[in-house]
Amino acid sequence: MRFTDEQRRHRLVVRHRVGAPPPATPPSVEEIVDGVLVLHATDPATVYLSVLARSSAATLDDVREAMYARRSIVRVLAMRRTLFVAGLDDVPVIHAAASLGVARRLRTRLLKELRTVPTDPPVPDPEAWLALVEDGVDAALRAAGTATGAQLSTAVPQLRTAILPTTDKAWDVRRTVTSPTLALLSAEGRMVRTEPRGAWTSRHHTWAPIEAWFEGGLPELDEAEARTRLVERWLEVFGPATVDDVQWWTGWNKTDTRAALARLALVDVELDTGPGIALPGTEPVDPPAPGAALLPALDPTPMGWKERTWYLGAHRERLFDRMGNIGPTVWWDGRVVGGWAVRSDGEVVHRFLEDVGSDAVEAVEAEVEHLQARLGGATFTTSFPTPLERELRA
């Protein structure tokens, strides 16, 4: 079977709700998250904006209610050591398939630093020290219900242990072990990031025990089986794709990637970019009517594949930073055609990077006006500003 770039873009529009005609019944926040598997959450604003981009009826409060009142979606540290928001049904699979591997690397790194780098105070037995800290954090968090990192470091003074600089490099500074230790415990499924202090754009999250979302804790799954289940879910959302796309998105090595794929009955397909794979039953969809969308920085759609030319065109240099993080993008008919930003006064501004025609211009301008009204003057900055975004915010 062959899938042209155009056919893949049609599937992207329909499956990811990127400029697709709105359904008769607006999708819930949970349905939107399920439809794209995960939302990127490195920037808190991205979670909200990714939902708003896929439903003209959703509000900021709707997203907050799903995350913190219904607790039907939750933040997880997972693929590529990246922070995501996922639905409760997918979290156990993601945890076993990706988070546990991240946790092992974080634990190894932290213990190595404690053994080899000077600390204040000294840590003569890193393994015993970390076990003591883990128990202390668990007890303190259960007693408090929710707590900030600062509150936990007050309850567990060992978290204020500092790793000392060993060079004169600008980045080599005194830093406490609070953040890496809490990140480790979250990757191990013992605690989760919950509602931040401050506005919806705040990065100052509080922490809560995992039992606040999963009674009795996360279920234990076989890691190999979980990797296969995660690949299957990913192909439901992002297929057809390439094996390199799968490996890049998951962050696995080649051995784990091939083993996970080998357990699935896949269909070989031909893409315009070369050989690809798909789940049985993956078929082209009817071409949807052209539509516009404003996707935020690090949205799961443009960050879903390693090979992006088929929807990005020649715009990588303007829309990505040097680390491979995409900024806010303007979409028309399943393609990236420009970028946008929010200025310090709350104005939403945009720029086209190619000639798209009057229909597209009119539709995008309507999306810009609608988004600005929904944000209500809120401002935010992305963690990884791109060249075009810097220009637009100036």
Three state DSSP letters for 110-145: HHHHHHHCCEECCCCCHHHHHHHHHHHHHHHHHHHC
Is residue 192 within 8 A of residue 85, CB to CB? The reply is no
10 Å CB burial of residue 81 (0-12, 13-18, 19+) is middle
Give all strands of the β-sheet with 38-40 in edge-to-edge order.
38-40, 83-87, 73-77
Report d(CA 50, CA 92) in Å as an integer.
23
Across 286-292, average pLDDT = 96
pLDDT tens per residue, range 34-52: 999 999 999 999 999 999 9
Instruction: Note the pLDDT of residue 82.
Output: 96
pLDDT tens per residue, range 250-259: 999 999 999 9
Is residue 109 within 8 A of residue 179, CB to CB? The reply is no
Is the confidence at residue 171, as pLDDT, over 90?
no
Q: How confident is the model at residue 300 (pLDDT cuts 50, 70, 90)?
A: very high
Q: How confident is the model at residue 381 (pLDDT cuts 50, 70, 90)?
A: confident
pTM reported for the whole predicted model: 0.95
- For 245, phi and psi rounded to 5 degrees? -60, -45
pLDDT tens per residue, range 82-115: 999 999 999 999 999 999 999 999 999 999 999 9
Is the confidence at residue 168, as pLDDT, over 90?
no
Q: Which residues pair with 207 in a beta bridge?
A: 147, 193
